[in-house]
Amino acid sequence: MFLYQQYFHFDYKNLKTFLETEAIPFFQKQGNNKQLSIFYIDLATIYYQENQFKKACLYYQKGISGIGIVKNMHVVTSDKKVQVKFP
């Protein structure tokens, strides 16, 4: 967790890489869905800020689904227009 805080506060450019290669795989192995959901939402925010809306929506979906707020959510994308549907 300390490493995550270091990346988050001091090395934002590499945060995406850290989340994808270190934090998310580690917490997947641990089965810690709450922390994993937080990291997915952090990663989604990074993709959103990079205008990669489809990836952002997919990671938001993983984050939200992981904490049990929404079990069935579908993401529809079309040329930077994004709709989130809750069935």
Does the structure show a pLDDT above 80 at 32? yes
Extract the tokens encoding 21. Answer: 């290669």
Does the structure show a pLDDT above 90 at 59? yes
Does the structure show a pLDDT above 50 at 78? no
pLDDT band at residue 54, thresholds of 50, 70 and 90?
A: very high
Residue with the larger pLDDT of the pair 6 and 32: 32
Long-range contacts of 7-11 (CB under 8 A, 24+ apart): 8/42
How far is 81 from 38, CA to CA, in rounded Å? Answer: 24
The confidence score (pLDDT) of residue 44 equals 92
